[in-house]
Structure formats: structure tokens, C-alpha cells
Structure 1
Amino acid sequence: MRSTGPGFDSLPFLAGPREASAPTGLSMTGWPGQEERGAGSAPLLRPDGDLADLLDTMRRLRTILACQDNMLGSGAVIPSAIQQVSILRELSRTATGTTRHAVMDLQAAYAEFAGWLNDDLGHRGAGQQWINNALLWAHEADNELLIAYILLRQSQRAAETGDTAAAVALAQAAQRRGELTARMRAAAAQAEAGGHALSGDERGFTTTVALARDLAAQAPPPTAGEWASWCTPAYIAAHEARGWAHLGRHDRAVESYQHALRGWPAEFHRDRGLYLSRLAHSQALTGAPEQATHTARTALAIACGTRSARILAELAPVRKALTPWRDNPRVSEFTDELTHVTLGTENGPPCA
């Protein structure tokens, strides 16, 4: 039976959509297996001392989990991420002063990460709950850069649901927050450009994507733990391609996707699958079924390896775009494989 994402019944959350029950052994407030062992098995945390070393370790762990997420997929790391929030929640109950400030800052960062992980697994209701709380906790920590990053993420989520006005407005709000790094400004400008493209505003799209491109080119090499470290010139090119696709310019989209994927960083393996699936869609719509099928099959293999619901969702329109060539043996083989994988997700993870 398909899982429905981590549960939220034991913590006060902001109003919003709710997911169904959590998978066995995993909850918002606990750690894997806590239910079976009982409350007495909770880690004994006493936040009345100096937590600097512990929090520093947890920051480093978050960076490691983000790397594993890129390579192995969200399902491999979400239990560990949620466990860290559980620990931080316990610490925050008695921490005061600057110690509480530091705890809430890290708690907000992990909550944002958990929201991302749920989104990638297709648990959008759970993802919304996590990101709502990340924003609340980031405000308490008074972290302007993290607030801007969460607004950027909300812009991306709005674009995914077709809410173009919110996508543009939230990206613009992110750009107005305090002192942003060049990379954060680039990411927010790209999100705004995506909203303009979705609304059919080609002029707004080309203006803001050019700004994003320039800012990404000016940014120094990303550092570990940096917000929006993924926003590189290649990332901007991939999203410029998506903008051209939204505007119906699939010839330009193919060119931009191919430029972005040339030399794509190995550590962003899952994202490569996402952009390959979008490239395949544009290739099909420009009348290149053989190329589209080859590209889509590579994306499907990455979806299976990383258990990414996002990649599978992007492959659905590829199948539709290939309909005129359904009698082509290679096209038929791909659509059969995709159908098999998609049906398999009804009883378990992708490609289980």
C-alpha cells in the first residue's frame, strides 16, 4: 500500500491540508521505532548546557543528508531528517536566550528540508505543513536569509500548481528580504521568471531570466551548507528551458536543456533525471520521437533508482506527446515500461 508521508498529529501546526497516517515506525514527533519501544526510550537530552558542539554536528549532518538525497532519493534520508527535528523540538522546550535562537534556526532549516523531501516523494500536503512551520520557526529565529529561501520554495510550489500570480509575487517577496547572496538573488529571480513564463508573459520572462543568468554567473563557488547552493548557471539554463517550453517554444527549450545537461554535476543525479524528462517532452513536441524515447528511458531509470515521484510525474506528458508514434516499437516499449512502473507505485515505491 502506498505510504502517505509522515504524520503530524502530535504537534501544533498551522492550519492547512493534512495527510493521512504516517508509515509504521515514523512520526513527526519521534524517531523510527519509538512507538514500539515506548516513550521511555526517548533520548535523554538536557539543553541546559552548551549545545554548540551538538548543533554544529547536526548542521553538518544536514549537509550530508542533502548530498545523499541528491544521489539516493528522498526516501533514503527522510527518517533521519525527521529524527533531527524531533531532537530539536525536545531541545527547544527548555532552551532559552541565544541557545534557543540557535536551536530554532536549525529546526527551521530541517523543517524546510523535510518539506522538500515530502514534495519529492509526492506527499504535497505533508510538504505544505512542513514548509509552513519552517517559515514560522525561521521568523522566530530572525533568519532573513532562510525566510527568503522559504518564500522562494513557496514560489516554486505555487508554480507547480499553476498559481502564476503567487509564483511571481512570492519570488519578488524573496528578493526584497534583507541582504541576500548573489546566488539567492539568482534563484529568486529565476523563480519569478518561471512565473512570468507560466502566465504567457514572454517579456517578463526574458528580462528576469537574464537577470538570474547574470547573478548566477557572478556568484562565487558554492560552499557547504549555503542556501540555494544548487543555483548554478546550469540550473538557470535548465529552468530557462522550462520557461521556453511553457511559452510553446520547444525548439529553444531543447537547445537550453541540452546546454544545461552538458557536464551536469554528478552529485545532482536525481535533478538530471527531472530535466531529462522535460527535455524528452520538448523533443517529442518538436517531432523527434526516437530522441525523446531515448531521453525518457534514461529519465525513467533515474526515477526508479531515486524513487522520485516528481520525475514520474514529468514523464506522464511525454507519453501523451508520443501518441502519434505509438506504433513505433521503441515508443511502444517505453510507454509499456512507464505504465508498468506507474502501476507499481499503487502498491509500493516507484519501481519497487
Structure 2
Amino acid sequence: MGQKPRKLTPEAGPQHELGAEMRAWRTHRGRSLGKLSGRINYSPSYMARVERGDQAASADLVTAYDHELRAEGALVRMYRRHQAAATQDSPSRVHVSNPSPDVSQGSVLLEDTPDLAAPSSEGISVPARTDDGRIIFVTVSRRALLGTLGATAASAALPDATAVATAPTQGTLSGPTAIEHLEATHRVLIDSDKLFGPYQSIPIVERQIAAMKALRRDVRGEDRKRLLLLHARYAELAGWLHQDTRNFRAAQHWMREALEVSHLTGDAQLTTFILARRSQLAGDMHDPIDALDVAEAAEMNATPGSRLEAVAATYGAHAHALRGDPDACKRAYEHAHELREAMDPDPDSPLGVWLDAAYIEAQRARSLNTLGDFHAAAEGFGRALANLPADYHRERGVHLARQAVALAGAGEAEEAGRAGMQALRIGIETGSGRITRQLARLDTDLAPWHSVTPVNEFRDAMREAVLKQA
């Protein structure tokens, strides 16, 4: 029999009250600490201390509980009330869970009505090593993070985007000129994201969306349709950038906006593509039901023989891995390859043109990691890295981080440490949350191999790279 949970004392103070509420939601959903830990990537011991009130909860942990347990914001609102009360009682006190004005609380401070305003992009989740050696995630301002991640190099690569980032104002740009300006910026932003990650691009994308909303008041006819198409594509890009930072609430906001605007355009291909992307987002959020349902809807609505059929099938395949069904996952990836082989090789639409056999195999390797087939996953990522275009710098870091986790799972600690070091360098350069989350897991997975030199080098580098707990 398992150990009987300690009786909680919510009356002991706000920290205990929040912990008790978090446990209540977990037990209500029938989740053990171990099972929930595997879903949200926090250690069970840390979660247990928070639930008992022995340790303060981080903003990220509360947000993860709220989302995974479908608490509909109840936990986040309680956390916010406690933080507000603590600030009033002791405004000069600073703690990692009650940061100074230079540290944003990210999604915890978002408006309760996300449909009225876009979630803030100021909060950036980054790994931090605690005094007892664990890695947690804290949220810092974009300005502070860019100061440590070499923003000068990233900014140098965005002269064109920076030059066109100012929102067009009435009387300075005609409708067609503004639309051409926005189209050119979109191309630059996509190229920049591949090399330098999301943080330089997010504020530019959001300013351009605001500019398009202003322009829609003044343009009609074909120009208005072009503007709506651009609005939808910018919103999809904003969703992707926030998805890469793992700010999932912001990603969901922008993907909803992209889908809504795409319906206004009447462009069925664009709507299908955004549906497929929503499936990918659901997969990143570990929601296999939505990932599969939306992928199937996208594949059904895709033009037969189009590239988007294969894109949708690829994202749907990962949903089977999340459900723990290796046979269905294998069949789904084979289906995605069949659709890719039968598709039009020269499509009129630029949507999803990055999909090729190597991309599908990289997604399959990720699914194998999820299923625990680490040897096959490591080999799959090796092939994907060999076929990755040179300008996909950030994706190289994602593949390396995932390969390192697979190698650690396969017991190849030395190789895992080397791959982790390569991924860490790219993670520092790009600030990609997909990389840093994998590396935090790797840091924990490699702990038993503390006598292996590449492992120690990686873990020491992680210690230098992450923030110290305040």
C-alpha cells in the first residue's frame, strides 16, 4: 500500500491554501503525483512540497496545474490574489514567485478575458537551477533575457524587419503600398525565425497585426482580401512564435484569431493549414484528443493530392504516440508518407512547403521518444539532422535536444552529453522554449552519470546558462 497523504492545513496561510487547492484539483481529476509530473515536467517531490505548503509554488507550476487539470483559471486566480495581497503587505520584498518590475509573471498576469486582448508576450519562460539542484522554470522580461542571450547578434540579422516594423499610419502609406510592405516583412520574419528564434520577431509581428487592423478600416475590394489573408498568416506566425517559447495561452489566442480571419477570406487552403497547425499545437500541449480530432478535420478538408493532406496526417500521427498506441502511430506515419509521395510536387500554395520525407521522419523520431523507444528515436534524429537545411538553425537545436534525451534514455550518456552541449549553445542563441525544456529534462536524466566527463561538462554549462533562484 502507498503512503497515506499527509493531512493538509489550508488554514495555515495563503501558501498552504493554494497547495491544498492544487491537491484538491489533482485528486478530483484522478491524477497521481507521478502521472501529473510526467505530463507537466516537474518533479513529484517539488509538487508534493508545494501541495503540503512547505514550499511556495512558482507561477509556471500553478499555470501548468491549472491547464492540465482543466481548472478553468481557478488556480491561477487564487495565485494572483495571494500575490496581490503579499505585494500590498510587503511591497519591497522580492522573491522569484513575486518578482520585481523587471521580471514578468507571464501568463499568470494575463487578462481573464483572453478574447478581448492578446496575451502579453513580455513573459519569457527560462530554466533556473534551484539551491537543491533542481531545474525549474521562471518567467523573466524579454528585455532582461535578450540582454543575456546576445541580442546584438540577433538584431543585426533583422535590419529589414526592424526597418519595416513601424505600423503604417493614415496619410503616410497608401493601402497597396502598406500591403506590399507587410508581405515583405512576413518573409523576412520567417527567415529570421529559422535562424534566431522567436524573441526578436514577436513584437514586430504583433505590431504588424495591429497595423493591419487599422488598415482594414480604409481598404476595400481585392486589397481588403489581400490584407485579410496577410492578417491570418501573421496571426498564425504569432501563434507559432509563442508556441516555440511555450507560451501556450498566447499561442492559442493567435491561432484562434488566425482561424477566424481565414474564414473571412474564403481561402480553404489557408483554413486547412491553420487547422493542421492547431493540431500541432495541441500535440505540444500533450492533448492527444484535440490533436487527433483537428488533424483529421484538416486532412478531410484538404484538397486531395495536396501537400496539406500530408501535413495534417503527420501531426495527427503524433497524437497516437501521446495516447501510447505505437501500432496506430506507425500506421499513421506510413499514411503520411503515402500522402507525401502522391502529392503535387509543385503546389501553387506556399503553405507547408517545408514538409518533406525528412520532416516526417523527424516527427516520427519525436513520437518514438514519447513512446519510450529511445534507440530508434536517437537514430531517427540522427538522420533528420543529416538532412536538415543549413539555415534551419533553431530546428537543429530542437532536434539535438530531443536526440540527447533519446540517447540518455538509451543509456548512451556520453553521446547524450555531447548532443546536449550542442543544443545548449543553440538554445542560448535562440531562446527557444522547445530546446530549453528538453535540456532541463536531460539535465535530470543524466544525473546518475555524474562521473562521465561529457555529462559533467553539459551539466556545468547548464548551471552557467540558467538563472539562479533568487
- Report the RMSD for the aligned CA atoms in angstroms: 3.1
Map 1:144-183 to 2 at 5 A: 144-179=268-303, 182-183=306-307
Does residue 137 of the first structure (1) align with residue 238 of the second (2)? no
CA contact (8 A) 1:65 1:77 kept: yes
CA contact (8 A) 2:248 2:285 kept: no
CA contact (8 A) 1:250 1:282 kept: yes
Q: What SS is found at the alignment partner of 2:226?
A: helix
Q: 1:312 to 1:42 in 2, by over 3 A?
A: closer
Q: 1:104 to 1:269 in 2, by over 3 A?
A: same
Q: 1:2 to 1:225 in 2, by over 3 A?
A: farther
Of 238-247 and 221-230, more deviation after overlay is shown by 221-230
Q: CA deviation at 1:210?
A: 1.0
2:211 to 87, 91, 94: 87
Which amino acid in the other structure matches residue 127 of structure 1? A
1:251 aligns with 375
Q: 1:149 to 1:42 in 2, by over 3 A?
A: closer
Which amino acid in the other structure matches residue 310 of structure 1? R
1:260 to 372, 384, 408: 384
Q: 1:214 to 1:267 in 2, by over 3 A?
A: farther
Q: CA deviation at 1:171?
A: 0.7
C-alpha distance in structure 2 between counterparts of 1:199 and 1:42, whole Å = 44
Does residue 45 of the first structure (1) align with residue 174 of the second (2)? no
Q: 1:2 to 1:277 in 2, by over 3 A?
A: farther
1:302 aligns with 426
1:269 to 363, 368, 393: 393
Q: CA deviation at 1:149?
A: 1.6
Which amino acid in the other structure matches residue 467 of structure 2? L
1:67 to 191, 195, 199: 191
CA contact (8 A) 1:121 1:310 kept: yes
Q: 1:324 to 1:44 in 2, by over 3 A?
A: closer
C-alpha distance in structure 1 between counterparts of 2:348 and 2:182, whole Å = 13
Of 189-198 and 156-165, more deviation after overlay is shown by 156-165
Residues 318-347 of structure 1 show CA distances to partners (whole Å, capped at 9, x for unaligned) of 122212202323212211222332326x89
Q: What SS is found at the alignment partner of 1:267?
A: coil
Deviation beyond 4 Å, 4+ runs, structure 1: 15-25, 46-49, 217-225
Q: 1:179 to 1:326 in 2, by over 3 A?
A: same
1:312 aligns with 436
Q: CA deviation at 1:236?
A: 0.8
Q: CA deviation at 1:118?
A: 1.8
Q: CA deviation at 1:48?
A: 11
C-alpha distance in structure 2 between counterparts of 1:2 and 1:228, whole Å = 36
Q: What SS is found at the alignment partner of 1:93?
A: coil
Stretches of structure 1 lacking an aligned partner (at least 5 in a row)? 26-40, 348-352
Q: CA deviation at 1:75?
A: 1.3
2:413 to 273, 286, 289: 289
Which amino acid in the other structure matches residue 115 of structure 2? L
Larger radius of gyration: 2
C-alpha distance in structure 2 between counterparts of 1:221 and 1:311, whole Å = 31
2:362 aligns with 238
Aligned length: 327
Which amino acid in the other structure matches residue 208 of structure 1? A
Map 1:104-115 to 2 at 5 A: 104-115=228-239
TM-score, normalised via structure 1 length: 0.83
C-alpha distance in structure 1 between counterparts of 2:181 and 2:279, whole Å = 31
Q: CA deviation at 1:292?
A: 0.5
CA contact (8 A) 2:142 2:199 kept: no
The higher-RCO structure (CA 8 Å, 6+ apart) is 1
Q: CA deviation at 1:311?
A: 0.6
C-alpha distance in structure 2 between counterparts of 1:178 and 1:331, whole Å = 46
C-alpha distance in structure 2 between counterparts of 1:180 and 1:54, whole Å = 35
Which amino acid in the other structure matches residue 256 of structure 1? G
C-alpha distance in structure 2 between counterparts of 1:224 and 1:292, whole Å = 42
TM-score, normalised via structure 2 length: 0.63
Map 1:17-56 to 2 at 5 A: 18-19=119-120, 43-45=168-170, 51-56=175-180
Q: 1:56 to 1:20 in 2, by over 3 A?
A: closer
1:336 aligns with 460
CA contact (8 A) 1:63 1:225 kept: no
